[in-house]
């Protein structure tokens, strides 16, 4: 039988009720597909062609799919009792053994080797392009503009000095010089600041729609939806379209998302509600490229905070949800055990401990904890990290945004000029 369009390793895992495909870096907690677009990097798997994202990988490229088991999970259960900088206190003394201990730590924490058969990446050609107006987003964003469309396979590396955009496209690396830049880069999930917010089975509303089209959402699946009022009808339509059981709907974040290797229930003021999927309909504008281009952003107030642009150069324009200025949902007090950075397993209480030690600037906290330095490059966590720091009395200005806008391998960057 032919698989529906868009079928991926991630969609099959969700269909099989086994969304845990990977593990986190420090606690080795289970991680699953969250965004369906390849930017959260929470579903990285090993394939015969090397490490890939499950949401971007066809099933015929990996063979049999089974539940992920991490043998280092017991070590992660111990690590969760300590702050992210625990190891540097222990491994830097005694001085005579420092080199040996740090070498062992680097070896144990390094990613596994690439699978056999990955082979070298193809060498790309290098091209320089000049455009009066450059639009990053879907075709039609700006009539007459030179279009770079990430949803059509273009990989945007970043905005560089002299109004230059770096792009990987098929077999080419492009250096696009422009006079005016239009960004319709969309938005990312804004996770609730509650315990369990990173469990497999927590997915974005847009991701759930993508997985639904791929046949991953079966009738009777219990879905909880957290969304702003204007997004709730979209979530209800998703449930009706696929015969899902919408067990909870609200704009106030639940007190906790419960489960071990996956979402099992949510806890709200009215009690515990069993569910299989927690769908997030709250969004954070995608500001990576805008900040690299020189725009400034600030946290919103009076609601669940998001980062919103408050100034742009006169040659830069944001369109669509990238220009969003409100989360649309009430604020929620962050839980101490809530994960604020899913890539690096940084919790609310880790940030609070860091500030208590005297690190009172976001850049310093970033370096101390590793928050916002993982594969997603702060896409999922920047607003949550800065909001927590603001609650601690720290001036919550965004940290410096540098290319690359998303991780790529050195092999992918190889170009023949």
Average pLDDT per 10 consecutive residues for the chain, totaling 417 residues:
79 93 91 94 86 89 69 88 76 70 60 46 86 95 95 93 94 95 96 97 97 96 97 98 98 97 95 98 96 96 97 97 97 96 96 94 93 92 96 92 85 75
Residue environment code for 384-406, b if the CB has 16+ CB neighbours within 10 A, otherwise e: bbbbbbbbbebebbbbebebebb
Tell how far CA 275 is from the center of its chain.
23
Q: Which two tokens stand for residue 247?
A: 């067990």
pLDDT at 82: 87
What is the rounded distance in angstroms from the CA atom of residue 184 to the CA atom of residue 251? 26
Phi-psi region of 38 (alpha: psi -120 to 50; beta: other; left: phi over 0): left
The predicted model scores a pTM of 0.90
322 burial via Cβ count (<10 Å: 0-12, 13-18, 19+): buried
Q: Which of 253, 143, 115 is nearest to 196 (CA)?
A: 253
pLDDT at 111: 45
pLDDT at 412: 81
């Amino acid at each position: 039988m032919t698989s529906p369009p868009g079928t991926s390793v991630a969609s099959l895992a969700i269909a099989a009720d086994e969304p845990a495909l990977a593990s986190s870096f420090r606690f080795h907690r289970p991680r699953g597909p969250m965004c369906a677009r390849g930017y959260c990097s929470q579903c990285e798997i090993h394939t015969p062609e090397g490490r890939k994202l499950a949401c971007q990988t066809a099933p015929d490229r990996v063979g049999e799919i089974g539940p992920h088991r991490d043998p280092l999970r017991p070590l992660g259960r111990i690590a969760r009792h300590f702050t992210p900088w625990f190891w540097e206190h222990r491994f830097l003394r005694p001085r005579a053994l420092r080199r040996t201990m740090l070498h062992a730590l680097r070896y144990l924490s390094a990613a596994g080797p690439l699978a056999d058969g990955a082979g070298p990446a193809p060498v790309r050609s290098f091209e320089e392009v000049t455009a009066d107006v450059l639009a990053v987003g879907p075709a039609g964003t700006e009539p007459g503009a030179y279009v770079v469309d990430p949803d059509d396979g273009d990989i945007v590396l970043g905005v560089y000095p002299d109004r230059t955009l770096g792009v990987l496209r098929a077999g080419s690396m492009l250096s696009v010089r422009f006079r005016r830049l239009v960004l319709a880069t969309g938005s990312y999930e804004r996770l609730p600041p509650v315990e369990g917010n990173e469990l497999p089975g927590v997915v974005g509303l847009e991701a759930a729609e993508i997985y639904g089209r791929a046949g991953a959402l079966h009738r009777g699946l219990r879905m909880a939806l957290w969304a702003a009022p204007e997004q709730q009808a979209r979530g209800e339509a998703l449930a009706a379209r696929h015969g899902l059981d919408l067990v909870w709907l609200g704009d106030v974040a639940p007190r906790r998302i419960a489960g071990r290797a996956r979402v099992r229930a949510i806890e709200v003021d009215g009690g515990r509600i069993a569910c299989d999927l927690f769908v997030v309909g709250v969004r954070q504008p995608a500001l990576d490229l805008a900040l690299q281009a020189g725009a400034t952003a600030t946290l919103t107030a009076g609601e669940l905070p998001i980062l919103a642009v408050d100034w742009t150069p006169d040659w830069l324009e944001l369109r669509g949800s990238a220009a969003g200025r409100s989360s649309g949902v009430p604020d929620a007090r962050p839980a101490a055990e809530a994960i604020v950075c899913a890539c690096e397993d940084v919790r609310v209480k880790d940030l609070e401990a860091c500030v208590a030690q005297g690190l009172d600037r976001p850049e310093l906290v970033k370096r101390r904890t590793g928050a916002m330095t993982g594969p997603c490059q702060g896409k999922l966590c920047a607003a949550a990290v800065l909001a927590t720091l603001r609650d601690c009395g720290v001036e919550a200005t965004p940290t410096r945004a540098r290319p690359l806008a998303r991780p790529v391998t050195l092999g992918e960057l190889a170009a023949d000029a």
